């Protein structure tokens, strides 16, 4: 800052920057007003339009005073706008809370229901089995239709056993119709179903009739031999009497890529790893596994001979050749008794049981949540297309038994009508 003048003096001009004297002073030659002190401009007002700059002095001599260059005028900052914070989220209303509560209760109820059904299934009882009425008649005279469908494995055998236990415990059941539509399955599961039918007949002494659908081959025909009378539809394929043991050998492929099986077998148990897909086949292994298949085949032929007894027209060794027979050929060979539909089988059962106005019911398991989600079919798009309300839909069918069969190794099969 510039020094203030002593009291009673005017402004001081130390460098002679003002030719006529400092501001507020009288021109030269005029008397100075006594004790007059002019208000001095503040430093910021002086510096508002000038800034000091240093210039080189090309020649020796006294250093000139500071020079001032123009300075851009100060500008006012625009007023600050408030920061645009997002609005706070809107709180859900009572309707949203009610909806979420109902959704949670629905999920919990569904889970509880499936746990109950699973427990009933594992207990092996008839709990959870529903009865769909096909024909309404006398409540005390009932014909029970028991389905046997899909590839025959342990699960199908257990389901069939639950149905039979339900029919066995119901004293109003005066006749039984077994509705078969299966290409076959494992030897053990087929034999269990056959034996369960014979057990029912021994305990209840009621007519047992089979109605064949599109397929009743191999293990399906094995089970049918436990009935008293067998119907097949005109388009039914049946027979296919035989046993096979699927085998695949990858030893040559593994040898090509330098892979060798090194499975360790206990000493003396040389057939423990017989039939391995990763080792070259040995003649003794092939002979051993052929004996297993032949043993199961012999049992199959005994079941057919016992079940059909004198109805067979021909030698069992010629009939049981693995062929699939049409309904007409099967009747000619004595493998079935008649050609007809489910209604014909029901009428025959009613006649044999002496029932004039029976109620006909079909047993079935209620669908589980997983079965609903796996969706055997989705018909909504197709229904819209049929009504002209949308493009043709795609129906997706998933057979859980087939998935289980393809992913589970089985030793022997009574397989498979094509």
Within a domain: 43:
no
pLDDT score at 283: 94
The three-state (H, E, C) secondary structure of the chain, written as one string: CCCCCCCCCCCCCCCCCCCCCCCCCCCCCCCCCCCCCCCCCCHHHHHCCEEEECCCCCCCCCCCCCEEEECCCCCCCCCCCCCCCCCCCCCCCHHHHHHHHHHHHHHHHHHHHHHHHHHHHHHCCCCCCEEEEEECCEEEEEEEEEEEECCECHHHHHHHHHHHHHHHHCCCEEEEEEEEEECCEEHHHHHHHHHHHHHHHHHHCCCEEEEEEEEEECHHHHHHCCCCEEEECCCCEEECCCCECCCCCCHHHHHHCCCCCCCCCCCCCCCCCCCCCCCCCCHHHHHHHHHHHHHHHHHHHHHHHHHHHHHCCCCHHHHCCCCEEEHHHHHHHCCCCEECCHHHHHHHHHHHHCCCCEEEEEEECCCCHHHHHHCCCCCHHHHHHHCCCCCCCCCCCCCHHHHHHHHCCCCCEECCCC
Query: CATH number of the domain that 158 lies in?
Result: 3.90.226.10
Rounded average pLDDT over 287-293: 95
Question: What is the percent of the chain where pLDDT is above 70?
Answer: 63
pLDDT grade, residue 145 (50/70/90)? very high
pLDDT at 387: 34
The pLDDT value given to residue 253: 93
Is there a domain that residue 331 lies in? Answer: yes
Higher pLDDT, 192 or 42: 192
* Tens digit of each residue's pLDDT (9 = 90 or more) over 376-394: 444 444 433 333 333 333 3
Residue-level pLDDT at 215: 96
Asked if 114 contacts 145 with a C-beta cutoff of 8 angstroms, the reply is no
Cα–Cα nearest to 320, from 344, 341, 343, 303: 303
Cβ atoms of residues 228 and 195 within 8 Å = no
Res 111: pLDDT: 82
Question: What is the per-residue pLDDT for 365?
Answer: 86
Supply the pTM of this predicted model: 0.62
Q: Which of 282, 286, 278, 283 is nearest to 255 (CA)?
A: 278
Asked which of 75-89, 177-191, 209-223 is least confident by mean pLDDT, the reply is 75-89
28, with CB counted inside 10 A (0-12, 13-18, 19+), is: exposed
Are the C-beta atoms of residues 162 and 170 closer than 8 Å to each other? no
Which residue did the predictor score with more confidence, 5 or 144?
A: 144
In a domain, 209, yes or no: yes
Q: For residues 348 and 257, is the Cβ–Cβ distance under 8 A?
A: no
- How many whole angstroms separate alpha carbon 188 and alpha carbon 219? 9
Residue 302 lies in a domain: no
Residue 27, pLDDT > 50, answer yes
Q: Tell me what pLDDT residue 346 has.
A: 97
Q: In the prediction, which pLDDT does 192 show?
A: 97
Least confident residue range of 59-73, 155-169, 244-258, 348-362: 59-73
The tens digit of pLDDT for each residue in 294-352 reads 999 999 999 999 999 889 999 999 999 999 999 999 999 999 999 999 999 999 999 99
Segment 134-145 mean pLDDT: 93
Domain hosting residue 221, numbered range: 128-241+313-377+394-414
pLDDT at 70: 53
- Asked whether residue 340 is assigned to any structural domain, the reply reads yes
pLDDT tier at 112 (50, 70, 90 boundaries)?
Answer: confident
pLDDT confidence bin for 97, thresholds 50/70/90: confident
N- to C-terminal Cα separation, the chain: 112
Q: How many residues comprise the chain? A: 418
In a domain, 264, yes or no: no
pLDDT in tens, 169-207: 999 999 999 999 999 999 999 999 999 999 999 999 999
What is the predicted pLDDT for the residue at 372?
62
Percent residues over pLDDT 90 in the chain: 54
pLDDT band per the 50, 70, 90 thresholds, residue 45:
very low
Q: Report CA-CA distances (Å) from 392 to 107, 201, 380, 386, 397.
A: 32, 49, 10, 8, 16
Q: Which residue has the higher pLDDT, 307 or 47?
A: 307
| Across 110-131, average pLDDT | 65
Q: Is residue 395's pLDDT more than 50?
A: no
Calpha distance 356→135 (Å, rounded): 12
Torsion of CA 405, 410, 416, 418, to 10 degrees: 50
pLDDT (0 to 100) of residue 33: 54
3 inside domain = no
Indicate if the pLDDT at residue 46 is higher than 80: no
- Domain assignment present for 382: no
Structural domain count, the chain: 1
Does residue 217 register a pLDDT over 80?
yes
User: Mean of the pLDDT values across residues 367-384?
Assistant: 51
Bridge partner list, 132 = 362
Residue 143 has pLDDT above 60, yes or no: yes
């Amino acid at each position: 800052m510039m020094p203030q003048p002593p009291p009673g003096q005017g402004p001081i001009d130390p460098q002679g920057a003002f030719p006529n004297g400092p501001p507020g002073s009288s021109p030269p030659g005029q008397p100075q007003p006594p004790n007059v002190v002019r208000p001095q401009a503040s430093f910021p007002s002086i510096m508002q339009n000038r800034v000091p700059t240093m210039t080189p002095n090309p020649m020796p001599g006294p250093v000139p005073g500071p020079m001032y260059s123009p300075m851009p005028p100060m500008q006012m900052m625009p007023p600050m706008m408030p920061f645009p914070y997002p609005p706070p989220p809107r709180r859900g209303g009572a309707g949203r809370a009610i909806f979420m509560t109902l959704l949670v209760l629905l999920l919990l109820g569904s889970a509880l229901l499936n746990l109950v059904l699973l427990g009933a299934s594992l207990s092996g009882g008839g709990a959870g089995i529903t009865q769909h009425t096909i024909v309404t008649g006398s409540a005390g005279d009932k014909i029970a239709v028991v389905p046997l469908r899909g590839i025959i494995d342990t699960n199908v055998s257990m389901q069939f056993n639950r149905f039979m236990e339900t029919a066995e415990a119901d004293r109003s059941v005066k006749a039984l119709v077994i509705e078969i539509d299966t290409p076959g399955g494992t030897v053990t599961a087929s034999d269990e179903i056959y034996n369960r039918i014979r057990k029912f007949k021994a305990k209840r002494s009621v007519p047992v009739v089979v109605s064949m659908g599109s397929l009743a081959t191999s293990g399906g025909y094995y089970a049918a031999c436990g009935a008293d009378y067998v119907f097949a539809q005109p388009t039914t394929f049946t027979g296919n009497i035989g046993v096979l043991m699927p085998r695949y050998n990858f030893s040559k492929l593994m040898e090509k890529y330098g892979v060798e099986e090194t499975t360790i077998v206990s000493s003396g148990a040389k057939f423990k790893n017989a039939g391995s897909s990763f080792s070259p086949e040995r003649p003794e292994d092939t002979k051993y596994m052929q004996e297993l298949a032949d043993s199961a085949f012999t049992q199959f032929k005994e079941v057919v001979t016992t079940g059909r007894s004198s109805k067979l027209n021909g030698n069992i060794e010629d009939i049981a050749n693995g062929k699939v027979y049409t309904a007409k050929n099967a009747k000619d060979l004595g493998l079935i008794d008649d050609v007809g539909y489910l209604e014909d089988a029901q009428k025959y059962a009613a006649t044999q049981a002496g029932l004039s106005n029976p109620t006909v019911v079909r047993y079935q398991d209620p669908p589980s949540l997983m079965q609903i989600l796996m969706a055997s079919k989705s018909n909504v798009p197709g229904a819209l297309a049929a009504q002209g309300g949308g493009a043709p839909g795609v129906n997706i069918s998933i057979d859980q038994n087939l998935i289980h069969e393809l992913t589970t190794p089985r030793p022997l099969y009574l397989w498979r009508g094509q």
